[in-house]
């Protein structure tokens, strides 16, 4: 599958930078094109500097709203971010139109954090413009939810998140939810945490995108999982998970005998990798709420057989009994067995529901506060009406 990636805001831009790195890796190691082009869109010029792989020209690092923000961002005001995106949408669309092989792409992926201003405000707006301009291509979004400390200490982050989720869900073909808190490593520094989190968010897409674009016969699966399978799976609220197990690099012919213990061990490894993927889903959810699902098994060709594929399918069906399940195999990695799982068209996500509930109460409270401030301002003005001024 080939995608065009657009990072919105600081967080979105840095994750998009990781996707650009995945694209370079696929080209250099596998001779495969999976990322048609990558763009970063922001109202803050400094944030656009802090990337390594996305092209440094003005068409790939797009500054919007310079006349309004003077290149200093919108300070978490997502309504301003949305307004700027509406005014400068043509600048973004013109840049995307210049991408080489744009019409070979299968979909767009917009990435943003929900708690900020630029990303959370501009993402649903740009998604709508893309839907109108490229009606034949699905528009997917990846929304990164705030850390726990942001939810606790920043009311605006909570409010922005709810507004962004609701607005984006109404326009995008699928919303891939990423819970930042699930990726935190407490023994890492802040910078190391951010770098590692962004890497972990992008990594599950590598084999998923490569499998359908593979060119070498020996790496083409018995059942190829391609763009069509992914497009038919991604819909509405979506979670993605990834699990892997290391395998011995040196093997002997006797390893591939019909010994029942070795065959059982192979199946056990596959189930363990899938279990890890389900435990490490990008958002906590109940798999029983999924109406669509997908899994990709990637391993050395001799590690995969029909029994393993059947067991993995049965295992996932046990967790997601209502889902239409698509699957594929990708005989690629040496010394590694990994499983990528997608649960999509989730009928309920508890965390999203919680954001809506808390933000509804917060919106009412914010209205009351605004009225109280206005009343106090009027009282203060009345109290000083008889005092002369120096102007």
pLDDT one-digit tens code per residue, 238-276: 999 999 988 876 544 444 445 545 555 667 888 999 999
Instruction: Give the mean model confidence (pLDDT) for residues 102-125.
Output: 95
Secondary element (H or E) of residue 340: strand 336-346
Residue 212 gets which letter from DSSP?
G
**By three-state DSSP, how is residue 264 classified?**
helix
**Of 48, 66, 65, nearest to 57 (Cα)?**
48
In angstroms, the CA 10 to CA 31 distance is 30
**For the domain 239-346, what is the CATH code?**
3.30.1330.20
Give the up-direction half-sphere exposure of residue 257: CA atoms within 13 A in the CB hemisphere.
Answer: 8
- pTM greater than 0.75 (yes/no): yes
Cβ-contact 112, 8 below 8 angstroms: yes
Long-range contacts of 66-72 (CB under 8 A, 24+ apart): 68/43, 69/43, 69/44, 71/43, 71/44, 71/45, 71/46, 72/43, 72/44, 72/45
Residue position matching structure tokens 């971010």: 81
Domain ranges of the chain: 3-203, 239-346
Is pLDDT at 94 greater than 80 in this prediction? yes
Q: Tokens standing for 391?
A: 């102007």
Provide the pLDDT for residue 260: 47
The residue among 197, 213, 153 whose CA lies nearest residue 32 is 213
Residue 316 to residue 94: CA distance in whole angstroms: 42
Range 371-388 average pLDDT:
68
| H or E element in which residue 253 lies | none
Residues above pLDDT 90, as percent of the chain: 68
Q: 308 to each of 6, 271, 303, how far by Cα in Å?
A: 37, 8, 9
Q: Give 3-203's CATH code, choosing from 3.40.50.410, 3.20.20.70, 3.40.50.1440, 2.60.40.10.
A: 3.40.50.1440
Indicate the SS3 state at residue 244.
Answer: strand
């Amino acid at each position: 599958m080939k995608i065009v990636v657009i990072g919105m805001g600081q967080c979105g831009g840095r994750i998009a930078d990781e996707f650009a790195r995945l694209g370079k890796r696929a080209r250099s190691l596998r001779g495969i094109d999976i990322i048609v082009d990558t763009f970063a869109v922001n109202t803050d010029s400094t944030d656009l500097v802090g990337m390594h792989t996305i092209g440094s020209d003005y068409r790939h690092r797009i500054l919007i709203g310079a006349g309004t923000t003077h290149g200093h961002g919108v300070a978490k005001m997502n309504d301003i971010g949305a307004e700027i995106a509406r005014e400068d949408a043509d600048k973004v669309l013109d840049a995307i139109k210049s991408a080489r092989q744009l019409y070979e792409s299968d979909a767009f992926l917009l990435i943003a954090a929900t708690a900020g201003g630029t990303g959370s405000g501009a993402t649903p707006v740009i998604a709508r413009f893309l839907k109108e301009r490229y009606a034949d291509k699905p528009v997917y979004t990846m929304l990164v939810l705030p850390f726990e400390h942001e939810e606790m200490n920043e009311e605006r982050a909570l409010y922005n998140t709810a507004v962004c989720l609701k607005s984006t869900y109404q326009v995008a073909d699928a919303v891939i939810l990423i819970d930042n808190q699930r990726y935190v490593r407490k023994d890492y520094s802040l910078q190391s945490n951010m770098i590692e989190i962004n890497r972990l968010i992008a990594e599950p897409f590598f084999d998923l995108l490569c499998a359908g674009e593979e060119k070498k016969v020996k790496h083409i699966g018995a059942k190829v999982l391609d763009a069509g399978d992914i497009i038919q799976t991604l819909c509405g609220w979506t979670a993605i998970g990834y699990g892997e197990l290391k395998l011995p690099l040196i093997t002997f012919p006797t390893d591939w005998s019909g010994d029942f213990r070795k065959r059982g061990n192979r199946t056990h490894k596959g189930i363990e990798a899938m279990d890890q993927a389900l435990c490490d889903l990008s958002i906590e959810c109940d798999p029983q709420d999924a109406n669509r699902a997908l899994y990709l098994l990637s391993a050395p060709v001799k590690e995969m057989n029909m029994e393993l594929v059947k067991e993995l399918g049965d295992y996932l069906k046990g967790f997601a009994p209502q889902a239409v399940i698509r699957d594929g195999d990708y005989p690629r990695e040496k010394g590694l067995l990994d499983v990528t799982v997608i649960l999509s068209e989730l009928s309920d996500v508890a965390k999203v529901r919680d954001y809506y509930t808390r933000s509804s109460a917060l919106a009412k409270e914010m209205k009351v506060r605004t009225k109280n401030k206005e009343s106090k301002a009027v009282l203060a003005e009345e109290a000083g009406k008889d005092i002369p001024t120096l102007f």
